[in-house]
């Protein structure tokens, strides 16, 4: 790992926690949990479900939730504009809607809140930043794993480990961006963790050369099996366990490049390594390599016990997927391209990236052998 990347990782993920033995954590918590007794509550206290109900009532009302989003965006933009680094545009609040009374009612309730930290002060600019693409989520609901063998069938106490996956930006490899967030059970293995991570490389269509020397792509071909991977946790490499184990390949590569990095191959392959057998650090980026040189950084966000409110099956869950950043259309250069077209003699290049409108304007291809690949229908990225 070069010094630049090391600096990025340290500044992006913060100091890592102490080592947490996942198996011991589950055992310790399971041994200490006592039957829950309803605490005695005073009339001034609120139960959590009462607060949830009040929040849901507001959040499920499209008019009120839109009002809250707009006012929050505006107050944040005002705070950022007041600072030196502030370049955000101040959004205009739309005209009062027909139901202005309900909005006023909500605002007067919010104004009554006595908590001094409720309203954002100008100091908040230091701790907040404008939204990024990686804060957005293409999923409208939690996605369960559909592999039948990746289900939780045991009633044993388990921990849920929330982890995020980060990839280098295509235009600056030393910067990372979050690509997805997942939840996995402590009884599941590193292979289950690998399988749930979406990657552009897995969705690349198969390439072939036609008789006249043009490059073609097989669209909608069945997904190929993984060509192997290695996950490195504290200088121990967990490989795929295949004939040409990726951990062996990586060790060989380190030897040929005279790297000073010490990497030991783990005693068990990833498929036989449950997370409960590992000791992990929160906020520590763990490195994963596959498809030759495709890198992902896995960061444990938090570890907690599985609760009755968690889904019973379907782990590992996918909680968030960052929307893909699309290249601009080569024809109009204004709209993000959604198609990659190969072998069309009317276009100056192959593949050529086009938006939907520009491709429709082109009409039907005049020759055979034209392939149209959807850039947004990538494996794992369609919700």
Rounded Cα–Cα distance for residues 376 and 138 (Å): 11
Minimum Å gap between C-beta 6 and Zn ion is 21
Using rule CB under 5 A, residue 355 touches Zn ion = yes
Nearer to Zn ion, 158 or 179 (CB): 179
Is-contact 179 318, C-beta < 8 A? no
Q: Which is nearer to Zn ion, 159 or 358 (CB)?
A: 358
> Which member of 1, 110, 332, 345 binds Zn ion (CB under 5 A)?
332
Nearest to 313 by CA among 191, 158, 168, 203: 158
Q: How far is the CB of 352 from Zn ion (least distance, A)?
A: 11
Mark 103-142 with x for binding to Zn ion (rule: CB under 5 A) and - for no binding: ----------------------------------------
Cis peptide leading into residue 316 (ω within 30°): yes
> Of the two residues 332 and 379, which places its CB atom closer to Zn ion in the complex?
332
Shortest distance, position 1 Cβ to Zn ion, whole Å: 17
Nearer to Zn ion, 39 or 292 (CB): 292
Task: Rule CB under 5 A: choose which of 185, 231, 329, 353 binds Zn ion.
Answer: 329
Q: Which is nearer to Zn ion, 17 or 335 (CB)?
A: 335
Beta strands in the chain, from DSSP E residues, in sequence order: 20-21, 159-169, 172-185, 206-209, 215-218, 229-233, 236-239, 264-265, 279-280, 285-290, 294-305, 317-321, 339-342, 352-354, 371-374
Distant-in-sequence, close-in-space partners of 64: CB < 8 Å, separation ≥ 6:
58, 102, 103, 106
Q: Whose Cβ is closer to Zn ion: residue 201's or residue 208's?
A: 201
Segment 248 to 267, residues that bind Zn ion, using CB under 5 A: none
**Chain centroid, CA 223 distance in Å:** 21
- CB-CB neighbours of 320 under 10 Å: 19
Binding to Zn ion, residues 157-216 (CB under 5 A):
199, 201
User: What is the rounded distance in angstroms from the CA atom of residue 339 to the CA atom of residue 328?
Assistant: 11
Size of site (CB under 5 A) for Zn ion = 9
Q: Of 216 and 324, which CB lies nearer to Zn ion in the complex structure? A: 324
Complex with Zn ion: residue 213 or 292, whichever CB lies closer: 292
Burial class (CB in 10 A: 0-12, 13-18, 19+), 145: buried
- Sole window of 38-46, 184-192, 223-231, 335-343 interacting with Zn ion (rule: CB under 5 A): 335-343
Q: Is 289 in the site for Zn ion (CB under 5 A)?
A: no
- The CB-of-377 to Zn ion minimum distance in angstroms stands at 18
Residue 331 lies near Zn ion (rule: CB under 5 A): yes
Q: Using the rule CB under 5 A, is 340 a contact of Zn ion?
A: no
Binding Zn ion (rule: CB under 5 A), the pick from 78, 90, 203, 294 is 294
Nearest to 160 by CA among 258, 294, 66, 26: 26
Of the listed pieces 90-98, 158-166, 265-273, 348-356, which binds Zn ion according to CB under 5 A?
A: 348-356
- The correct pick among 358, 371, 373, 381 for binding Zn ion (CB under 5 A) is 358
Distance from C-alpha of 174 to C-alpha of 165, rounded to nearest angstrom: 15
CA diameter of the chain = 82
- Whether the CB-CB separation of 147 and 315 falls below 8 Å is answered with no
- Name the residue nearer to Zn ion (CB basis): 22 or 298: 298
Where along the sequence are the contacts to Zn ion (CB under 5 A)?
199, 201, 294, 329, 331-332, 335, 355, 358
């Amino acid at each position: 790992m070069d010094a630049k990347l090391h600096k990025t990782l340290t500044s992006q993920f913060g100091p890592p926690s102490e080592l947490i033995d996942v198996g011991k954590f589950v055992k310790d918590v399971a041994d200490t949990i006592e039957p829950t007794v309803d605490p005695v509550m005073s009339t001034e206290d609120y139960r959590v479900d009462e607060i949830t109900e009040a929040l849901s009532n507001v959040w499920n009302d499209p008019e009120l939730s839109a009002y809250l989003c707009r006012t929050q965006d505006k107050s944040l933009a005002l705070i950022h504009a007041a600072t030196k680094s502030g370049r955000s545009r101040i959004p205009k609040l739309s005209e009062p809607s027909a139901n202005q009374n309900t909005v006023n009612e909500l605002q007067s309730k919010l104004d009554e809140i006595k908590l001094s930290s409720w309203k954002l002060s100008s100091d908040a600019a230091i701790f907040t930043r404008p939204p990024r693409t990686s804060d957005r989520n293409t999923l409208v609901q939690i996605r369960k794993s559909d592999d039948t063998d990746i289900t939780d069938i045991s009633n044993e106490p388990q921990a849920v480990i929330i982890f995020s996956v980060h990839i280098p930006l295509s235009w600056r490899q030393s910067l990372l961006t979050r690509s997805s967030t997942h939840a996995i059970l402590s009884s599941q293995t590193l292979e289950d963790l690998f399988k749930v991570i979406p990657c552009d490389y897995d969705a690349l269509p198969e390439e072939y050369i036609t008789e006249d020397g043009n490059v073609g792509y097989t669209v909608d071909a069945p997904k190929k099996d993984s060509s192997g991977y290695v996950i490195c946790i504290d200088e121990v490499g967990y490989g795929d366990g295949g004939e040409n184990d990726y951990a062996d390949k990586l060790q060989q590569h380190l030897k040929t490049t005279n790297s000073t990095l010490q990497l030991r191959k783990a005693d068990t392959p990833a498929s036989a390594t449950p997370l409960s057998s590992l000791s992990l650090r929160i906020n520590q980026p763990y490195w994963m390599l596959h498809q030759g040189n495709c890198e992902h950084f896995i960061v444990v966000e938090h570890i907690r016990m599985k609760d009755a409110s968690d889904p019973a099956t379907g782990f590992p869950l996918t909680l968030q997927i960052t929307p893909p950043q699309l290249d601009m259309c080569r024809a109009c250069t204004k709209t993000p391209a959604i198609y990659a077209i190969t072998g069309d003699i009317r276009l100056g290049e192959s593949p050529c990236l086009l938006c939907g409108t520009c491709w429709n304007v082109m009409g039907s291809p005049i020759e055979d052998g034209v392939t149209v690949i959807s850039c947004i229908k990538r494996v794992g990225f369609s919700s």
